[in-house]
Structure 1
Amino acid sequence: MATPLLTRAAEINVTPRGDQPIIADYVEIYQQHEDQILLPEEAQCLAVKTFLHMCNINYHKKMRYNAEQMSPSKGLPFIKIGPLIVADFDPIVEHLSSKGVCLTSELSGSQKAELKAYLSLTVNRLHLAELYITWRDKLTVEEITKERYGSSYPWPLNKVLPWFKQREIGRYLQAKGWYEKSIDQVYTEVNLCCKALSHKLGDQYYFFIDRPTELDALVFAHLHALLTTELTSARLADIVKEYENLTRFCDRIHQRYYVEDAGES
């Protein structure tokens, strides 16, 4: 996958509201249209939107059929603040932190190290599983992926571009050691990840202290996407549902940031 990057430095005004900082101006977040978006991008876009909600940052959602081509890293989503463009979850979190918008300032050094480990676990298991299911599982590719990915393009691009994307993802999965996995091995990886996350969460409201961090945003996004995205098999959703504390966690985050606040524009 392409390396995320930043374009054009710009200053962001940060002002306090309540007990958390906010960005003074609206943020624009770019993603594909709903009839085009696939499971991995759905999870990544939801992670960024949830993180912005947790930081009390107002945003406008901009849906573009060519959002992937607009992104400087080809990754989604990307945000635009004035002339600045930042793509992908980690660079967005890092950039906002550099401007004083941080959810982990109260964590100790050991807690921050543990948080990074769980962030890595989530990406290296759930995100890779989503890519595998979307682009490697033959039934999903034929019945869902190719149709949705190519839906906004005329023939023959609607046939050619999914093929190129499948090759690109295949090389990425190969580099990560996931290309030759069986579907049952992928399900096992997801189950092990959920087990570790469930053990860490326990009976807590959030993963760390009494307020959310980027880990809460990322885990919620991936689990919620697995629970709600229509696939050719319900196996991934069933795995998540085996962990009651994780499903309750998803319900709480959804209720707090997408039902009570209804903050999307």
Structure 2
Amino acid sequence: MALAAEAFMTQLAAAEPWPENAALYQQLKDEQILLSDNASSLAVQAFLQMCNLPVRVVCRANAEYMSPSGKVPFIHVGNQVVSELGPIVQFVKAKGHSLSDGLDEVQKAEMKAYMELVNNMLLTAELYLQWCDDVTVEEITHLRYGSPYPWPLNRILSYQKQWEIRRKMKAIGWAGKSLEQVLEDVDQCCQALSQRLGTQPYFFNKQCKGLTFQYRRLVPKIRPTELDALVFGHLFTILTTQLTSDELSEKVKNYSNLIAFCRRIEQQYFEGHDKDSSSSATSRSAKRSLLR
């Protein structure tokens, strides 16, 4: 009975309008957040920006422990707290906002398959690099992850997280991979994304309701989908994050249409939107612009 009541209250909350004081929580931007969490946070921010839903980015040292799933980012909307892109997409859809309504069932299935590819390859590669590459672990990961805490707690928490991630890598068969093999997986993922994108502005050129001016004539609007937000979050963060080497970003830079895609999303949804960080979905990582 309690579960039914909780589900009913969740449905009521989802039906309420999107509030102006919605907040997105992530770790401290400049000194703590790691590549994978930064990418996931930017993907959610891009998604909300594409839905034209305002959100205030809040950085907290204990954001990971505040999250209901133990993962960042998470959003606080009204009385609801929702973490990770997938559940956030469903929560936003319940409020009447969706980026993929214009897709047919086959396209939706294809979009989900590519999102799984990104999570299984790019996100896993980011986690591997952070916690399984010894040079990165010692020079970047331990220092950033434990930075808000005093010694020896900073080391204890870092080693606990490292043990957790390495156990996950072993479970999915990545523990025995070399860095070269992981980078090759990233390259294959980027190749698949590049081929799917082609010369299109977005991965699915769906037409949404409404018209826009182009070349002095009215044409149907074309908007991105959840896949575009996810891919942008990961590729942009890889391209703009300084690591111990450039090997990871160089894999992405081999695909000019993916670079152009990131620039396009940055220009359309982030450039000029960061004047007021308290009411914008703009990530601070967007300050490291791809635009030259």
- Normalising by structure 1, we get a TM-score of 0.92
Partner of 1:73: helix, strand, or coil?
Answer: coil
Q: Choose 1 or 2 for highest CA Rg.
A: 2
Picking from 189, 195, 207, the partner of 1:193 is 189
Correspondence for 2:94: 98
Determine if contact 2:19/2:77 at 8 Å carries over to the other structure.
no
Q: Which residue pairs with 1:109 in the alignment?
A: 105
Specify which of 231, 240, 250 is matched with residue 219 of structure 1.
231
Match for 2:13 among 11, 14, 36?
11
1:33 aligned partner, one-letter code: L
Any conservation in 1 of the 2:123–2:234 contact (CA below 8 Å)?
Answer: yes
Q: Indicate the percent of aligned positions where both proteins have the same amino acid.
A: 49
1:233-257 CA distance string (max 9 Å, x none):
1011111000000000001101111
Using the alignment, how far apart are the partners of 2:54 and 2:32 within structure 1?
25
Counterpart among 267, 272, 281 of residue 260 in structure 1: 272
- Equivalent residue in structure 1 for 2:249, among 227, 231, 237: 237
Distance in 1 separating the partners of 2:91 and 2:119: 19
Q: Whole-Å Cα distance in 1 between the matches of residues 120 and 69 of structure 2?
A: 19
Matched, 1:32 2:27: yes
Q: Is the 8 A contact 2:46 2:229 kept in 1?
A: yes
Structure 2, gaps ≥5 residues long: 1-5, 206-221, 279-292
CA distance in 2, matches of 1:14, 1:108: 27
Decide whether the 8 Å contact of 2:40 with 2:72 is kept in 1. yes
Q: Partner residue of 2:47?
A: 51
Q: In 1, are the aligned partners of 2:14 and 2:91 still within 8 Å (CA)?
A: no
Over aligned residue pairs, what C-alpha RMSD do you find?
A: 1.6
Distance 1:251 1:112 in 2: 25
Count how many residue pairs are aligned between Structure 1 and Structure 2. Answer: 253
- Retained in 2: the 8 A contact 1:194–1:243? yes
For structure 1, the 5+ residue unaligned runs are 1-5, 16-22
- In the alignment, is the contact (CA less than 8 A) between 2:203 and 2:227 conserved in 1? yes
TM-score, normalised to structure 2's length?
Answer: 0.83
